[in-house]
Amino acid sequence: MISPKTQWCEGCYRTLDEIAGWWDYDPYQKRAVIAQLDDRLARIMDGSFD
């Protein structure tokens, strides 16, 4: 389910574009997305997402 506020999946914290393109991403692109996920979750948890 995509959050209307963040536009991220509420389960994996990826965007719709990231989810849709995932199977076409090379390993470097996947790692770049994965590297952002902890920060996205932290922003949600501490309320700093605007």
pLDDT tens track for 1-47: 999 999 999 999 999 999 999 999 999 999 999 999 999 999 989 98
In this structure, what token pair is assigned to residue 22?
């995932």
50 pLDDT above the threshold of 90: no
Predicted pLDDT of residue 47: 84
d(CA 18, CA 44) in angstroms, rounded, equals 18
pTM for the model stands at: 0.84
What is the reported pLDDT for 17?
97
